[in-house]
């Protein structure tokens, strides 16, 4: 590595911000960090490639030539806010369980959850496979004769957790939409569309 024409072999050498760096005579460019929000429609899987030939979320990011990865996942039938970045530290901070970043969903279920059902969700409950959900905020938004819509906020991301919660309550999920992830909200972003977002640490 060369800095200011000087060959550097010390791995602990400190480089001043903005100094040009060369490796094997070629300039090393600082990678531009990318932060995206996608409104994932139902029917797309959260992988780059799918062995079954299903549509993937990367089909919706054709305008982004750089490599990015999803921060967390949404299953094929779920919709809503999905974040992408090439900043591994940022992605790890958002998705690590110890960060307890809130994620809010609108959930339509078959049947009307009882006050007892809502209390179980608020306290945390057995969701099968030896796992227990953490306490969550939940409120009933729009019950009708056969279905209900709820707003549910979690601070963890167990596999298919919301669907498993309502399966245990015998209220199968009919539609699941993530509307918020930490400080980021859909705010009218159309399904299938994405936009660049500001990712300042002070938001956390």
Q: Give, for 161, the enclosing helix (H) or strand (E).
A: helix 161-168
Cα 109 to chain centroid, rounded: 22
Residue 146 contacts residue 111 (beta carbons within 8 Å): yes
Cα 6 to chain centroid, rounded: 43
- Known catalytic residue at 75: yes
The dihedrals phi and psi of 122, each to the nearest 5 degrees, come to -65, -30
Position of tokens 């819509």? 149
Residue 116 contacts residue 178 (beta carbons within 8 Å): no
Neighbours of 25 (CB within 10 A): 6
State how far the Cα of 137 lies from the Cα of 121, in Å rounded to an integer: 8
The dihedrals phi and psi of 157, each to the nearest 5 degrees, come to -145, 55
Sign of CA dihedral 44, 50, 54, 55: positive
Out of 24, 59, 75, 126, the active site residue is 75
Catalytic residues: 75
């Amino acid at each position: 590595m060369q800095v200011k024409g000087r060959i550097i072999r010390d791995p602990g050498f400190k480089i001043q911000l903005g100094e040009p760096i060369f490796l094997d005579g070629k300039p090393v460019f600082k990678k531009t960090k990318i932060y995206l929000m996608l409104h994932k429609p139902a029917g797309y899987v959260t992988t780059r490639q799918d062995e079954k030939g299903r549509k993937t979320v990367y089909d919706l990011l054709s305008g982004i030539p750089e490599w990015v990865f999803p921060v967390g996942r949404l299953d094929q039938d779920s919709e809503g806010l999905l974040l992408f970045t090439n900043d591994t530290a940022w992605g790890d901070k958002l998705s690590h369980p110890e960060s307890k970043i809130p994620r809010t969903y609108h959930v339509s279920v078959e049947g009307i959850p009882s006050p007892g059902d809502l209390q179980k969700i608020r306290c945390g409950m057995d969701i099968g496979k030896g796992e227990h959900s953490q306490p969550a905020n939940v409120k009933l938004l729009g019950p009708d004769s056969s279905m209900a819509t709820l707003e549910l906020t979690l601070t963890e991301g167990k596999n298919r957790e919301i669907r498993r919660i309502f399966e245990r309550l015998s209220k199968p999920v009919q539609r699941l939409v993530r509307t918020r992830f930490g400080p980021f909200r859909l705010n009218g972003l159309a399904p299938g569309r994405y936009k660049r977002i500001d990712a300042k640490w002070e938001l956390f």
